[in-house]
Amino acid sequence: MTTPSPKRVLTADDIRRALTRIAHEIIERNRGLDGIVIVGLQRGGVWLAEALGAEIERIEQLVPIGTIDVALYRDDIGIRPVTPSGPSELPVPLDGATVVLVDDVLFTGRTVRAALDALADYGRPRAVQLAVLVDRGHRELPIRPDYVGKNLPTSTSEDVAVTPDGVTIETAAALP
Amino acid sequence: MKHLRSIAEIGPEAVHRLLDLTDHMVEVNRRPNPKVPALRGRTVCNLFFEDSTRTRLSFETAARRLSADVMTFTVASSSVNKGESLRDTVETVAAMGVDAFVIRHRASGVPWQVSRWTTASVVNGGDGWHAHPTQALLDAYTVRRALGRSGGLDGLRVAIVGDIRHSRVARSNVEVFGALGADVTVVAPATLLPPAPLAIGVTVTDDLDAAIEEADVLYLLRMQRERISDAVIPSLREYSARFALTPERAMRLGKHALVLHPGPMNRGVEIQVDPAELPGAMITQQVTNGVAVRMAVLFDLLAAPGATIGEAA
């Protein structure tokens, strides 16, 4: 069987430029950075949240960066294997904060749904916004991103892989 | 993992996985509202045929913090016989729809027997002199966390002191620390050692004074007073003189050494110092971590695909 080679859709430079733009958009939309907390979703959103935080700091000022693990809030527990990655770590109280959730790929929206439940257990943010590097469509819930690196039409049988080196698409033959 | 009946049965890989998962549960337990929806709709039944306070409460708390429903069934050991009536009890409760049984029984092997009578997961909450795997996991977790380690415990010197022969805690701890790569020494008089060797690589000695200076972890077992009538030890006083943590021995413990005890403590017997004054005492942390470890175990068993069986007709 021949496996089609993965197609590169974003390079490392593309990712960096997208993050720079999103950082500007966040500052612009919120008229500054008052009360902003960047929260990366375990595991793929964590490095992106850090990279985005670094961009924001370079442009304007330091903002708190946290991570959240949604494994214990997923709606497919008992249906698919659910493995927690790193524990959640939120550096500041979320009451009254504007949380920018960061993930690598937005797909069905179920992970974000779980993340909203998880966030609520830490406090009552004033607002929650969503930043994703790739929006690949196929939403199953009424969830939309506020900041998008790239809209990427895909078929459900494809797999989108995101690393700091770039974004690739391949046919998901290797998926379990 | 379908059941947690002994450490030996699940193996080192599962031990590592459960300890890593415990980090998550510790984070949950530190929140103002320590509860997650992970096991909504699952039912955990505690079947305790033997007295227990901390293990039962710890499992109940663990299940509730994961939003599982909890049934607790406590039986005085005298009122239920083994065999048929135990089977009837299990089958009756299982028919109500139970996803996991946590079972404590004075007879070794009961968790294996129970798992033949139900399709639910079985967690061993202590069977006879045989095994107490969640105690061992919480002990290992407590040590790992206190040392700030994240992987195994290679080269760590663990001394387990006391009535090894009649202790399910000792047996499971030998297995768990062995699985994590620690060097385990058991310290006991010959009459309180099991007839067969515990495991390959375990050192056996009756010299606590020598062992204490080497130990990174000193694990004191509870001396069960009823053993004195078994004539396996001449007197409590003589036992304590040789095998208790006395103030003199506490002075000779390494500065970094951790002291663990599964509780309940017999103050004045195996421990003759106030643990509050031992800098390495982990006894409170053990209880706290016990809830998190049991959350990890229940999640690992019940979050797996197909784990919910819904036996109720």
pLDDT along chain A (176 residues), means of 10: 77 97 98 98 96 98 97 93 89 96 97 97 96 97 98 94 95 60
Of B21, B31, B303, the CB nearest to A122: B31
Of B31, B303, B307, the CB nearest to A121: B31
**A-B contacts at Cβ under 8 angstroms:** 43
Count Cα atoms within 13 angstroms, Cβ side, for B94: 22
Nearest CA in chain A to B304: A78
Task: Indicate yes or no: CB of A72 within 8 angstroms of CB of B27.
Answer: no
Task: Indicate yes or no: CB of B305 within 8 angstroms of CB of A122.
Answer: no
Helix (H) or strand (E) segment spanning residue A67? strand A65-68
Is A121 within 8 Å of chain B by CB?
yes
Of A81, A84, A88, the CB nearest to B305: A81
Task: Indicate yes or no: CB of B27 within 8 angstroms of CB of A84.
Answer: no
Tokens (6 digits) for A14: 């593309």
Q: How far is A160 from chain B (nearest CA, A)?
A: 24
Residue-range domain boundaries for chain B: 7-132+288-302, 133-286
Is A176 within 8 Å of chain B by CB?
no
Give the separation between CA A24 and CA A28, rounded to whole angstroms.
Answer: 6
**B133-286 under CATH 3.40.50.1370, yes or no:** yes
Task: Indicate yes or no: CB of A77 within 8 angstroms of CB of B66.
Answer: no
- Per-residue pLDDT at B312: 39
Instruction: Give the number of other Cβ atoms within 10 Å of residue A117's Cβ.
Output: 15
Give the separation between CA A23 and CA A10, rounded to whole angstroms.
Answer: 18
Q: Which CATH architecture has domain A7-174?
A: 3-Layer(aba) Sandwich (3.40)
- Per-residue pLDDT at B310: 46
Where b means 16+ CB within 10 Å and e means fewer, B52-76 reads beebbebbbbbbbbbebbbbeeebe
Is A116 within 8 Å of chain B by CB?
no
Name which of A79-83, B38-42, B131-135, B247-251 the model is least confident about: A79-83
Q: Given its phi and psi angles, is residue A109 left (phi above 0), alpha (psi -120 to 50 degrees) or beta? A: left
Is A81 within 8 Å of chain B by CB?
yes
Mean pLDDT for all residues in chain B: 92
Task: Indicate yes or no: CB of A78 within 8 angstroms of CB of B37.
Answer: no
Task: Indicate yes or no: CB of A71 within 8 angstroms of CB of B24.
Answer: yes
Tokens (6 digits) for B3: 């059941």
Q: How far is A69 from chain B (nearest CA, A)?
A: 9
Query: Is residue A156 packed enough to be buried (19+ CB in 10 Å), middle (13-18) or exposed (0-12)?
Result: exposed
Q: How far is B87 from chain A (nearest CA, A)?
A: 28
Of B21, B66, B307, the CB nearest to A84: B21
Contact residues for A175 (Cβ-Cβ < 8 A; gap 6+): A159
CB < 8 Å to A71, chain B: 24, 38
Task: Indicate yes or no: CB of A89 within 8 angstroms of CB of B38.
Answer: no
Tokens (6 digits) for A96: 């009254």
Is A95 within 8 Å of chain B by CB?
no
Contact residues for B77 (Cβ-Cβ < 8 A; gap 6+): B49, B50, B51, B106
Task: Indicate yes or no: CB of B299 within 8 angstroms of CB of A72.
Answer: yes
Most B CBs within 10 Å, among A42, A77, A110, to test the B interface: A77
Tokens (6 digits) for B147: 């040392």
Is A120 within 8 Å of chain B by CB?
no
Alpha helices in chain B (DSSP H): 7-29, 54-65, 84-95, 110-117, 133-146, 168-179, 208-214, 236-243, 247-252, 283-302
Residues B41-57, mean pLDDT to the nearest whole number: 92
The predicted model scores a pTM of: 0.92
Task: Indicate yes or no: CB of A78 within 8 angstroms of CB of B26.
Answer: no
- Which carries the bigger pLDDT value, residue B83 or residue A139? A139
Q: Which CATH architecture has domain B7-132+288-302?
A: 3-Layer(aba) Sandwich (3.40)
CB A149 within 8 A of CB A19: yes
Positive or negative torsion for Cα A160, A161, A164, A166: negative
CB < 8 Å to B145, chain A: none
- Per-residue pLDDT at B80: 61
Positive or negative torsion for Cα B158, B162, B15, B137: negative
For the complex shown, is ipTM > 0.85?
Answer: yes
Q: How far is B286 from chain A (nearest CA, A)?
A: 20
Residue-range domain boundaries for chain A: 7-174
- Per-residue pLDDT at B78: 45
Tokens (6 digits) for A75: 């709606």
Cα-Cα-Cα-Cα torsion B218, B221, B225, B226, nearest 10 degrees, comes to: -150
**pLDDT tens digits, residue range B184-233?**
999 999 999 998 888 888 999 999 999 999 999 999 999 977 666 666 77
- Per-residue pLDDT at B313: 34
Q: How far is B293 from chain A (nearest CA, A)?
A: 14
Residues B161-189, mean pLDDT to the nearest whole number: 96
Task: Indicate yes or no: CB of B303 within 8 angstroms of CB of A77.
Answer: yes
